[in-house]
Amino acid sequence: MDTHDSPAPVLVATDVTKAYESTIALAGASLSVSAGESLAIMGASGSGKTTLLHCLAAVIPPDSGSIRMSVPGAQPVELAGLDEEARSQLRRTRCGFVFQEGLLLPELSALENVALPLMLTGHPRPEAERAAAPWLRSLGLAGMEDRRIGQLSGGQAQRVAIARAQVTGAPVVFADEPTGALDSATSSDVMDALLYATSGQGRSLVLVTHDAAVAARCDRTLHMRDGRIVREKVAR
């Protein structure tokens, strides 16, 4: 008999619904995400996957249902019902984000982009940059700290975005089509970096993707249709 305990869930969503006027985006989605797990969400356009990601990440509130976030060292939080200020605070302290286009600030250097989340939470700039530099080095960007985003390749810019998502120590990282703008070889390199920086460090990753090869790199894949999770695949 296996005596090892399973990792505790950091996110548990139960019967989550969301509608935009007459359009039902989520029709009772339920899932859990364990500590250190990588989870991919797939589905056709309009299936509800991005809306689900945004609800899980406290970007938008669900209309009904429960989303409970339980991370080490902090009290569990029920996301449903939080006001915008509380959701914003939770996003700053418990969540990291990687988007398809990175959403990096082009006027800042790579180091400044990574340090920015720490500065926004009150850390002095020198301290924030000292914390940011090792993440850039660990993701293969040593020597590129002073480059502006326009001086980096697409893959390099996404690694800057991954470093930025990790610099605060966020226990959960959400990624929305993180490889969508990249060629297949660069996509593989970016997924290497993303998995190293998240599940490789004991943190949880939830990503939305259209790319089956990207999803196959994750521990589990959930498939959505019409606002519901209809199938689950566990990596072998």
Q: Hey, what long-range contacts does 168-171 have (CB within 8 A, 24 or more apart)?
A: 168/92, 168/93, 168/96, 168/117, 168/118, 168/121, 170/93, 170/94, 170/95, 170/96, 170/203, 171/10, 171/35, 171/71, 171/72, 171/94, 171/203, 171/204
Of residues 233 and 7, the one with the higher pLDDT is: 233
Q: 171-226 pLDDT, tens per residue?
A: 999 999 988 878 888 889 889 999 999 999 999 999 999 999 999 999 999 999 99
Q: Tell whether 1 is covered by a domain.
A: no
pLDDT at site 236: 66
Average pLDDT (76-85) is: 93
Q: Tell whether 73 is covered by a domain.
A: yes
Q: Tell whether 120 is covered by a domain.
A: no
Q: Tell whether 41 is covered by a domain.
A: yes
Q: 98-151 pLDDT, tens per residue?
A: 887 667 999 999 999 999 999 988 999 999 999 999 999 988 899 999 999 999
pLDDT at site 103: 79
- How many domains does the chain divide into? 1
Q: Tell whether 218 is covered by a domain.
A: yes
Q: For residue 1, give every residue at least 6 positions away whose Cβ sits within 8 Å of its Cβ, in sequence order, or none.
A: none
What are the residues facing 205 on neighbouring strands? 38, 173
Q: Tell whether 133 is covered by a domain.
A: no
Domain extent at residue 32: 9-102+153-159+167-234
pLDDT at site 20: 94
Asked whether the predicted pLDDT for residue 229 surpasses 90, the reply is yes
Average pLDDT (76-81) is: 92
What CATH number should be reported for the domain holding residue 201? Answer: 3.40.50.300
Average pLDDT (53-79) is: 93
d(CA 43, CA 50): 10
88: pLDDT confidence band, cut at 50, 70 and 90? very high
Q: Tell whether 121 is covered by a domain.
A: no
d(CA 73, CA 67): 18
pTM as predicted: 0.89
Q: Tell whether 42 is covered by a domain.
A: yes
pLDDT at site 80: 92
230 sits in which H/E element:
strand 228-234
Q: 5-61 pLDDT, tens per residue?
A: 667 899 999 999 999 999 999 999 999 999 999 999 999 999 999 999 999 999 999
